[in-house]
Amino acid sequence: MNKTLTTIFALAVASVTAIAQAQETKGDVEAGKQKVAMCIGCHGIPGYQSSFPEVHKVPMISGQSGKYIAAALTAYKKGERKHPTMRGIADSLTEQDIADVSAYYEQHGKTGAEVAAKPGREPSVQVAELLKKGACVSCHGDNFAKPIDPSYPKIAGQHADYLFVALKSYKVEKNANVGRGNAIMGGIAKQFTNAELKALASYVGSLDGDLHTVPQSRFR
């Protein structure tokens, strides 16, 4: 294993341990159901697009791991993720709110169908090499829908344009409004050109997964 990947895996272990220690508040699904009014205006509308930092579909979060949602919201709250809208929303949430909303979305829209153990579509030779270089399956799983730890996201079937924007954000430094401070993903993303990140995002986004956008009324 090369030095870069050894460092990445060491950071991954440290990150999982830190998140596991921090994520102790138990979420309540029914309580979360009453707290998602600020979420459904974007994440509850199929095809809804964000215009910042560029036009892209907002991510599907119904069916996503609750621990990952909690980790992401906490990162926005701490300023480790810098999207202004999401930071503003996260700042308004207590630790219990985050736990409840995360628990709600983990079970929201679940169909009970099992995602296949392997992707139903093989990557191109180019993308296969990129996946190997980034060691993507080592964290996100062979099918990109069963990550090795629930604090990592399911990414199979996620909107490709969102994945591309997210991956690029890990390369951004010293910007008050754009960027993500995760050292593991930063080290991985910076190995690739934007064209390569787009190819990776397009492939992963084309796969079957657990993620959904479940239509919800804005008026509750």
- The answer to whether the beta carbons of residues 31 and 100 sit under 8 Å apart is yes
Q: Is the pLDDT of residue 22 over 50?
A: no
Task: Give CA–CA dist 65/28, Å, rounded.
Answer: 14
- The answer to whether the beta carbons of residues 53 and 178 sit under 8 Å apart is yes
Q: Tokens 């008026």 correspond to what residue?
A: 219
Report CA Rg, the chain: 17
Residue range 99-128, pLDDT digits in tens? 999 999 999 988 888 899 899 999 999 999
Position 138 confidence tier, pLDDT thresholds 50, 70, 90: very high
Using alpha carbons, list the distances in angstroms from residue 61 to 18, 131, 132, 170, 212: 23, 23, 26, 20, 7
Using alpha carbons, list the distances in angstroms from residue 183 to 14, 37, 60: 11, 32, 24
Distance from the first to the final alpha carbon of the chain:
52
Using alpha carbons, list the distances in angstroms from residue 112 to 92, 101, 109, 162, 174: 33, 20, 9, 25, 43
- The answer to whether the beta carbons of residues 60 and 212 sit under 8 Å apart is yes
Q: Which two tokens stand for residue 205?
A: 């986004």
Indicate the residue type of 29.
Answer: V
Q: Is the pLDDT of residue 13 over 60?
A: no
Residues whose CB is less than 8 angstroms from the CB of residue 155 and which lie 6 or more positions away in sequence, other chains included: 140, 144, 145, 163, 204, 209
**What DSSP character marks residue 207?**
S
Task: Give CA–CA dist 116/142, Å, rounded.
Answer: 10
Residue range 160-215, pLDDT digits in tens? 999 999 999 999 999 999 999 999 999 999 999 999 999 999 999 999 999 999 99
Task: Give CA–CA dist 111/63, Å, rounded.
Answer: 9
Whether the predicted model's global pTM rises above the 0.85 cut: yes
**What DSSP character marks residue 121?**
S
